[in-house]
Amino acid sequence: PRTALTLLGLGDMGTALARTWLAAGHRLTVWNRTAAKAGPLAALGAAVAATPAEAVAANRLVVVCLLDDASVGSALDGIDLTGKDLVNLTTGTPAEGRARATWAKERGARFVDAGIMATPSMIGAPEAGGYVFYSGSRGLFDTHRAVLEVPAGARFTGEDPGHAALHDVALLSAMYGLFAGVSHAYALIEGEDISPKDLAPLLSEWLGAMGFFVGNAAERLSSRDFTTGVVSNLAMQVAATGTLVRTAQEQGVSAELISPYLELMARRLAADPAAHGVEDTAGAITLLRRPDRGR
Ligand code: NDP
């Protein structure tokens, strides 16, 4: 069925979203701070609002995709949100998502926060595998699920409005750790008679094989048993990783991208060599959270 909805924000991501809703036959009202960006969408059938207030007034479902949480606050400042269903696709932190949820509730709106796991080119292309995390009002999500799934798949992560951002940031953080390791590997071979193109398939294959760590660490964190079924014990790994640092030195490459993790493993071992030496590396995760912080 055709749904009427409003979209605030026509940057790269907002424009990609708008195109998929229009292509699917939904009735879309758009607003963007720089009005010129709405032109091509108007040609595709979008109604263009002159102000955020006008855009919000047009429909019950209001989707926001702006630069950051501050721009959401400034665009919606002073606007009547009574009875609105507000979906925030703007990237933010969990605390920003929770604060925005409280802010929306105080203004009479239902609210879900979201984290987009896709680039604009993956929007409207299900085969690309992009999707969006949502959290907050289950009622809002259930009401609008079908239209929200037009641009990309939807995964609801619970009613805590901070959890979509938390899932988003957890995945992105792991991704940057992977990028860091791959960057270090390429730096090591630079200037040698080894082509990055020859290393690439070996890296992909190795990282795929080492992906077992994801499930393995989850198992250990859940059971709090870091010792059962260990194949590479921490005492050995800490001794062996000295080779990584020395090789970086020999190659004239900074170890800055990998040394924090190696140091964390060494710290875990040093805290109790007899107990932690027979674990694997997942126990090091327990050192990361500050005891005086978090929820
Ligand atoms: P762009 O930089 O292309 O667009 C930013 C948008 O925010 C524009 O519509 C801009 O308006 C608007 N904006 C910025 N500041 C303000 C303000 N103070 N008041 C009102 N409007 C403002 O970013 P994207 O479209 O790529 O990203 C939008 C959101 O989507 C971000 O939160 C981003 O993190 C998230 N996202 C983006 C991904 C990507 O790959 N692009 C991937 C996943 C999430 P104007 O046109 O007037 O400048």
Same CATH topology for 4-166 and 211-287: the answer is no
Give the mutation target among 67, 71, 171 for probing the ligand 1 site: most ligand atoms within 8 A of CB.
67
Query: Which strands form 85-88's sheet, in the order they lie side by side?
Result: 47-48, 27-31, 4-8, 61-64, 85-88, 110-117, 131-136, 153-156
User: Could you tell me if 109 and 84 are in contact, meaning their C-beta atoms sit under 8 angstroms apart?
Assistant: yes
Domain ranges of the chain: 4-166, 211-287
Give nearest CA residue, ligand 1 atom 37. Answer: 13
Q: What is the pLDDT of residue 229?
A: 85
Complex-level ipTM beyond the 0.95 threshold: yes
pTM for the model = 0.94
CATH superfamily of 4-166: NAD(P)-binding Rossmann-like Domain (3.40.50.720)
Ligand 1 centre to CA of 14 (Å) is 7
Given 3-state DSSP classes, what are the helix, strand and coil percentages for the chain, each rounded to the nearest 5?
55, 15, 35
Q: What is the pLDDT of residue 1?
A: 72
Q: What is the pLDDT of residue 30?
A: 98
Nearest alpha carbon to residue 89 among 152, 3, 29, 159:
152
The two three-digit tokens of residue 160, written as one number: 């805590």
Ligand 1 centre to CA of 13 (Å) is 7
Ligand 1 centre to CA of 2 (Å) is 26
Ligand 1 centre to CA of 67 (Å) is 3
| Average confidence (pLDDT) per 10 residues, the chain, 295 residues | 94 98 98 98 98 98 98 97 98 98 97 98 95 98 98 98 98 97 98 97 97 95 92 93 95 97 97 95 93 67
Measured between its terminal Cα atoms, the distance across the chain in Å is 41
In ligand 1, the atom with minimum distance to the C-alpha of 117 is 43
CATH of 211-287, one of 3.30.450.40, 3.40.30.10, 1.10.1040.10, 3.90.1150.10: 1.10.1040.10
Give the mutation target among 7, 8, 12, 13 for probing the ligand 1 site: most ligand atoms within 8 A of CB.
13
Ligand 1 centre to CA of 7 (Å) is 12
Ligand 1 surroundings by CB, under 6 angstroms: 9-14, 32-34, 37, 65-68, 71, 74-75, 90-91, 116, 119-120
Q: What is the pLDDT of residue 228?
A: 86
